[in-house]
Structure 1
Amino acid sequence: MQVLRRRPRPAGHTLQATVGVIVGALLVLIVLSAVATSLARAMVAAEQRELGARAVPAHRIAVDLTTSYLDQMTGQLSYLLTGDGQFLTLYEQGAQRAERLQQQLAALLAPDAEASAALAQLRAAGADWREQVAEPGIAARRQGALPADELVALTTAGRARFDELRGRLADVEQRTVELETAQLDAIGRMQTRATVVTVASAVLGVAVAVGVVPLLRRRLTHPLERLQADVQAVAAGDHDRTIARTGPRELATIAESVDRMRAGLVRSSRERLAAQHELTLRQEHDRLAADLHDLTIQRIFGLGLGLTSTARRHPALAPAVAPLIEETDRIIRELRTVIFDLGRPDIDGTDTLRGQVIDLTEASVRALGFTPTLEFAGPVDTLASARESEEVLAVLRETLSNVARHANASAASVRLAAREGVLTLSVADNGTGLPRDAPRGAGLGNLRDRAQRLGGSVRIRPGAAGVGTVVEWQVPLRPGPN
Structure 2
Amino acid sequence: MTIPRFWPRTLRWQVILLVSGLLLLLTTTAIVTTAARVHVTDVGSRVRETLRPAQAAVAALGRGYVDMETGELGFLLTRDPQFLQPYETGSAAVTAAEDSIARLMADDAETMGLLSAVSAAGIAWRTQAAEPAIARARANGTVADNQQGRALFDTLRARLTALGDHVDQLIAARLASSRRANATANVTTGVCVGLALVLGLASVLILRRSLVTPLNRLVAQVREVSAGDLHREVEAAGPEEVTRLGEAVEAMRVRILSEADQVAAASNRIARLEETDRIARTLGDTAIRRLYGITLDLQSAAARFPRSGPVMATAISGIDRTISALRSSVYGTATRTQPPLHTQVSEVVGELESTHGHAPGLLLTGDLDAEPPAEVAAEVTQVLRDFLRATAVPEGGAEEVELALSGEEIRLRVTCAVPDERVAGVERALAEASADAVVRREPDRVTVEWRRPL
Q: TM-score range by the shorter chain?
A: 0.3 to 0.5
TM-score by length of 2: 0.44
Larger Rg: 1 or 2? 2
TM-score by length of 1: 0.41
